[in-house]
Structure 1
Amino acid sequence: MRQVPVCIDGRLADAEATGVASYARAMKEGLAATGPAPLVLTDDQRGRFGTPNPSMQVIGRRVRARLPKPVPLVRDTCALRAADIFRLAHVRFATTGKLLRLDAPGAPGIMHWTYPIPAWIDGWINLYTIHDAIPLVAPSLSQVQPVALRRRVGALAEVADRFLTVSDAARHEILAAFDLPARAVVNGGTATTGLTPANAPLPSGLKPQRYFLFCGLAEPRKNLPRLIAAWRASGTTHPLVLTGPDHDAAHGEPGLIILPYQERAALIDLIQHARGLLFPSLAEGFGLPVIEAMALGTPVLTSRSGALAEVAGEAALLVDPMSQDAIADGIRRLDGDDELRARLSLRGRERAGDYTPERFGERLRRLHDEFTSDSRFDV
Structure 2
Amino acid sequence: MRILYELYNLSLPSGTGIATYARNLCKTSKELGYDIGGLLHTNRRLRLGDPQSTEAGLFSPPGRRKALVGTTLRRMLGAPFGIPTVRLESDKISVQSEQWEKRSGGVQDAYVASRYHEMARLHFQRYGKSARILLDQPPDIFHTTQVIPLSVPGAKNIYTIHDLVPLRMPEATTDDKSYFVNMIRYLAQTADRIVTVSETSRNDIIGLTGVSPEKVVNTYQAVSIPQDLLEIPTNEVEDIVKSFYDLNYKDYYLFYGAIEPKKNLSRLIDAFVASDTRSPLVVVGGLGWQYGADLRKIREHKSRGYLFDGRHLKEDIRIRRLDYVPLLQLISLIRGAKAVLFPSLYEGFGLPVLEAMLLGTPVLTSKGSSLSEVAGDAAVLVDPTDTVDMMRGIRALDGDAELRAELVGRGQAQSAKFSEQAYAERLTKLYEGLL
The reply to whether TM is greater than 0.5 is yes
1:135 aligned residue (146, 166, 169): 166
Confirm or deny: 8 A CA contact 1:90 1:118 kept in the other structure. Answer: yes
Task: Show the counterpart of 2:258.
Answer: 217
- Unaligned runs of 5+ residues in structure 2 are 44-54, 91-107, 288-293, 304-317
1:71-82 alignment to 2 at 5 Å? 71-75=83-87, 76=89, 78-82=108-112
Q: Residue 62 and residue 179 in structure 1: after superposition, are their counterparts in 2 closer, same or farther (change >3 A)?
A: farther
Task: Show the counterpart of 1:316.
Answer: 379
Task: Show the counterpart of 1:377.
Answer: none
Confirm or deny: 8 A CA contact 1:73 1:80 kept in the other structure. Answer: no
- 2:158 alignment partner, SS class: strand
Task: Show the counterpart of 1:207.
Answer: 248
Q: CA–CA distance in 1 between the matches of 2:379 and 2:278? A: 22
Matched, 1:150 2:213: no
Q: CA–CA distance in 2 between the matches of 1:39 and 1:261? A: 29
- 1:354 alignment partner, SS class: helix
Which shows bigger deviation, 276-285 or 320-329? 320-329
Matched, 1:100 2:131: yes
One-letter amino acid of the structure 2 residue matched with residue 22 of structure 1: T
1:309 is displaced (CA, Å) by 0.6
Q: CA–CA distance in 2 between the matches of 1:6 and 1:29? A: 12
Confirm or deny: 8 A CA contact 2:28 2:424 kept in the other structure. Answer: yes
Q: Deviations over 1:87-113 (max 9, x none)?
A: 332333344444211233336411110
Q: Residue 260 and residue 71 in structure 1: after superposition, are their counterparts in 2 closer, same or farther (change >3 A)?
A: closer
- 2:113 alignment partner, SS class: coil
1:1-379 alignment to 2 at 5 Å? 4-15=1-12, 16-45=14-43, 54-56=64-66, 59-60=69-70, 63=73, 66-75=78-87, 76=89, 78-84=108-114, 85-106=116-137, 108-194=139-225, 197=229, 201-202=240-241, 203-246=244-287, 248-249=295-296, 250-253=298-301, 254=303, 255-372=318-435
- 2:184 alignment partner, SS class: helix
Q: Deviations over 1:248-269 (max 9, x none)?
A: 3222412111111222222211
Pairwise CA RMSD of aligned residues?
2.5
Confirm or deny: 8 A CA contact 1:214 1:278 kept in the other structure. Answer: yes
Which shows bigger deviation, 319-328 or 244-253? 244-253
Q: Residue 184 and residue 229 in structure 1: after superposition, are their counterparts in 2 closer, same or farther (change >3 A)?
A: same
1:122 is displaced (CA, Å) by 0.5
Q: How many residues align?
A: 368
Confirm or deny: 8 A CA contact 2:84 2:113 kept in the other structure. Answer: no
Which shows bigger deviation, 246-255 or 328-337? 246-255
Q: CA–CA distance in 1 between the matches of 2:362 and 2:201? A: 24
Confirm or deny: 8 A CA contact 1:25 1:193 kept in the other structure. Answer: no
- 2:204 alignment partner, SS class: helix
- 1:38 alignment partner, SS class: strand
What is the TM-score of this pair, normalised by structure 2? 0.78
- Unaligned runs of 5+ residues in structure 1 are 373-379
Which shows bigger deviation, 57-66 or 264-273? 57-66
Identity of aligned residues (%): 36
Q: Residue 8 and residue 291 in structure 1: after superposition, are their counterparts in 2 closer, same or farther (change >3 A)?
A: same
What is the TM-score of this pair, normalised by structure 1? 0.89
Which shows bigger deviation, 251-260 or 100-109? 100-109
Q: CA–CA distance in 2 between the matches of 1:229 and 1:206? A: 22
Q: Deviations over 1:258-304 (max 9, x none)?
A: 11122222221111110000111111111110001111111001112
Q: CA–CA distance in 2 between the matches of 1:67 and 1:100? A: 6
Q: Residue 319 and residue 221 in structure 1: after superposition, are their counterparts in 2 closer, same or farther (change >3 A)?
A: same
Q: Deviations over 1:91-142 (max 9, x none)?
A: 3334444421123333641111000112100110111011111211221233
Q: CA–CA distance in 2 between the matches of 1:102 and 1:14? A: 18
Which shows bigger deviation, 307-316 or 40-49? 40-49
Confirm or deny: 8 A CA contact 2:3 2:139 kept in the other structure. Answer: no
One-letter amino acid of the structure 2 residue matched with residue 257 of structure 1: R
Confirm or deny: 8 A CA contact 1:27 1:357 kept in the other structure. Answer: no
Q: CA–CA distance in 2 between the matches of 1:361 and 1:229? A: 40
- 2:430 alignment partner, SS class: helix
1:337 is displaced (CA, Å) by 1.3
Q: CA–CA distance in 1 between the matches of 2:380 and 2:166? A: 27
Q: Residue 90 and residue 264 in structure 1: after superposition, are their counterparts in 2 closer, same or farther (change >3 A)?
A: farther
One-letter amino acid of the structure 2 residue matched with residue 286 of structure 1: F
Which shows bigger deviation, 55-64 or 293-302? 55-64
One-letter amino acid of the structure 2 residue matched with residue 201 of structure 1: I
The one of the two structures with greater contact order (alpha-carbon pairs below 8 A, sep at least 6) is: 1
Which shows bigger deviation, 231-240 or 29-38? 29-38
